[in-house]
Amino acid sequence: MFERVRDDGCGKLDLEPFHPLAGSFMNPGAALPPMSDHLPAQSLDVAGGRLTYEVAGRGLPIVLLHEGIADRRMWDREFSHLARDHRVARYDFRGYGGSAPATSAYSPVRDLVALLDHLDMARPLIVGPSMGGKVAIDLSLADPERVGALLLVAPAYSGMDYDHVPGGKATFERDERLSKAAADAWAARDLEGATEHLRQLWASSLAGSALELFRTMVRENAKEIFEESSGRHETRDGAPAAARLGEIRVPTRILVGDRDNPAMPHLANFLGRGIAGAQVQLVPGADHLLNLSRPDVFDTALHGFVESLPDLRP
């Protein structure tokens, strides 16, 4: 699995799954709306590094995390839209976008806590896609009072295992085949070929400007995506999330696309069974980058979830 597969030495896998816009679904090649001008990006010094972030708006706090095949630009459209009515922050993980790569041990969860403290954001709704979902889940377990709610999008989680999906390892066959092809292409210095393999695996529904954004993010974050320049230094506090899902007590909604890789809907259901009260929604026509492939459904789901969270309103 390209985003990324690690064996922790105990037989477990750490698998990190490498308003209305209905017209974009009916016509996937249609351009997304123009991106609004944003406030200048800012930086925050954290232990052993520096994060680049943006914050805007007032109201219910929302933090947008990003995937391991993207950076904070995957939220360009949503950031401007949400900032009209909410206080919204987004940032780049270490080594992605404008954030400095890690050169020593660090914790993505501690980085997120540092940003929340710096922005004085209490109990935000955290939107966590893929790798960002893993960070959001780990934070909700490590420091439950920091999190108000979780909107997880094709989320990864620490402690993933083959036996969490029907068919076991065989379910990941396509995933691992395309991941290996991408890694081999990168090793041969064929970035275009590597990106195409990732597109087939994670972004098969994208077209037009959304597809171009995906390719740009992969190209400009290639060192991190293909070599884990920062990921190799990542640490985690506490036991993996897979065995602790019952400890999560915040409102949780999970979105996953039916055109994502075959294992992802099953992994989403595993989380849905383990987290009390979690709701899982399968999104037709969506791939792993669900907010880009089905922005209409994403917007509706996010809006409905926010409306259900009166306790988070300032």
Q: What tens digit of pLDDT does each residue of 188-214 get?
A: 999 999 999 999 999 999 999 999 999
C-beta of residue 53 within 8 angstroms of C-beta of residue 114: no
Q: Is 127 helix (H, G, I), strand (E, B) or coil?
A: strand
Is the Cβ–Cβ distance between 24 and 207 less than 8 Å? Answer: no
Nearest to 146 by CA among 164, 120, 172: 120
pLDDT tens by residue, 86-144: 999 999 999 999 999 999 999 999 999 999 999 999 999 999 999 999 999 999 999 99
DSSP states of 96-118 as a string?
Answer: STTSPPP-S-B-HHHHHHHHHHH
Total domains in the chain come to 1
CA distance 31 to 15: 32
Q: How confident is the model at residue 4 (pLDDT cuts 50, 70, 90)?
A: very low
Q: Which residues pair with 256 in a beta bridge?
A: 282
Mean pLDDT of 163-174: 91
Q: What is the pTM of this model?
A: 0.88
Domain at 100, CATH number: 3.40.50.1820
Of 20-24, 118-122, 229-233, 277-281, the one with minimum mean pLDDT is 20-24
Sign, CA torsion 133/113/44/298: positive
CB 126 within 8 A of CB 116: no
- Structural domain that includes position 118: 5-312
Which tens digits make up the pLDDT trace of 146-168?
999 999 999 999 999 999 999 98
Predicted confidence (pLDDT) per residue in 51-66, tens digit: 999 999 999 999 999 9
